[in-house]
Structure 1
């Protein structure tokens, strides 16, 4: 990718699912640091340590699974069924998804929310007419933390990651 960047074939370089440990190793050898790190991030997996590290290094964090992969084969209700988020959404007159997406935005990150429903797509964009207060953010910081996507399928006895600890740099 660095060669593509040098040749002008890529405007920037992005990475996906790099924790602090892997990102530190990459930055030791990279000529051009990545512009973005795309990771699972939502109110139930907030990635505070990684977000702070990326901020210090000038790397933007982009959140996949910003809604916790609700009702698809590997997700859970950890975001969309969370009582804290439900209470905040009700008080703001917003959906839980809008609160979760606004939380990501207020962390300085960008969010990717997947939907094939046109109305939900519109709702997911409607997050700029309200803010989460310091009290709201404090309440959201109390949401139990748990990675939704385990990544078991990426483990291999013959590969670079044999355990989930190796795959996720100890943040399981």
Structure 2
């Protein structure tokens, strides 16, 4: 099993998870089953991904087989932007639980620090094709997220895609503090300042799109893509350690103090991505990886 870190509320958080965004319809149930067999115990989904049912079905199947118990797995899902109004947050969380077929999730995140006009599509647009924002303040949304904890719908709550100023606004009103902030993080966007801020607040960073590849976040992809997997320095380190470039990146991120959630539907790559705990990058090699940072972001909302 993967090692864990302890969240500020005492929950054990596996230090590598499986991301599920942009999965093809119908494939995710088997991918999650394969991941469980490979040792994964941390699964990240979202209402917006439209695959909660498949993720939940896989977890429940493996519980039924006796491979895992519910308490063995850490399941994260997220509140989408069209559901920020406090009055609908609890019901939206319950909808995700029905999709998953679970009594609770381990972590429930506000997906983005802005709301959209409520609609069923999830991406409401005006006649010019521009996304329609709502005037709901995520600080008010946070109070309803706390209610989800109080009702036992989720064990923890947190944030996603929030910067330090936005996090501080939540901290200023929080009765239940966020335990995680999930953000894009990879060698070309190492998020040093945000990681340090969050560490000082007792918040762990989850790193999505850890390889920053062109398929990592396809619907949001800007086109001008960094490719850390092809970086000569990372390839050099892969040769040095007898590992793949992906394993070097994931090991770097773990040593960087974040929890990566790479996505793969390939059985071998699932296993490779998990097998990063039998080596450690030397200090000078971590510094070499740090030097690759170029504050290069691939995940932005584009209209």
TM over 0.5: yes
- After superposing on structure 2, the runs of 4+ consecutive aligned residues of structure 1 that deviate more than 4 Å are none
1:87 alignment partner in structure 2 = 236
**Aligned 1:102-121 pairs, distance under 5 A:** 102-121=251-270
1:61 alignment partner in structure 2 = 205
TM-score of the two chains, using structure 2 as the length reference: 0.48
Q: Once the 2 structures are TM-superposed, how far is the Cα of residue 78 of structure 1 from its aligned partner?
A: 2.8
1:152 alignment partner in structure 2 = 302
1:17 aligns with 2:167: no
Q: Once the 2 structures are TM-superposed, how far is the Cα of residue 71 of structure 1 from its aligned partner?
A: 4.3
1:42 aligns with 2:182: no
CA contact (8 A) 2:188 2:226 kept: no
Structure with max Cα Rg: 2
Q: Once the 2 structures are TM-superposed, how far is the Cα of residue 9 of structure 1 from its aligned partner?
A: 2.0
Q: Once the 2 structures are TM-superposed, how far is the Cα of residue 125 of structure 1 from its aligned partner?
A: 0.6
**Matched residues in 2 for 1:150 and 1:126: separation?**
30
Aligned with 1:2 (options 124, 142, 146): 146
CA contact (8 A) 2:209 2:262 kept: yes
TM-score of the two chains, using structure 1 as the length reference: 0.84
CA contact (8 A) 1:70 1:80 kept: no
Of 77-86 and 127-136, deviating more is 77-86
**Matched residues in 2 for 1:71 and 1:90: separation?**
25
1:140 aligns with 2:298: no
**Matched residues in 2 for 1:115 and 1:104: separation?**
17
Structure 2: runs of 5+ lacking an equivalent: 1-144
**Equivalent position SS for 1:128:** coil
Cα distance per residue 1:80-122 (max 9 Å; x no partner):
1111111111111100000000011112211111111101111
Alpha-carbon RMSD: 1.4
**Equivalent position SS for 1:11:** coil
CA contact (8 A) 2:188 2:292 kept: yes
**Matched residues in 2 for 1:70 and 1:94: separation?**
22
**Matched residues in 2 for 1:103 and 1:19: separation?**
22
2:87 alignment partner in structure 1 = none
Cα distance per residue 1:36-73 (max 9 Å; x no partner):
11100111110001000110000111100011134453
**Equivalent position SS for 1:61:** strand
**Matched residues in 1 for 2:293 and 2:160: separation?**
24
Q: Which has the higher contact order (CA 8 A, sep 6+)?
A: 1
Q: Once the 2 structures are TM-superposed, how far is the Cα of residue 14 of structure 1 from its aligned partner?
A: 1.8
Q: Once the 2 structures are TM-superposed, how far is the Cα of residue 124 of structure 1 from its aligned partner?
A: 0.3
In the comparison of the two structures, how many residue pairs are matched?
153
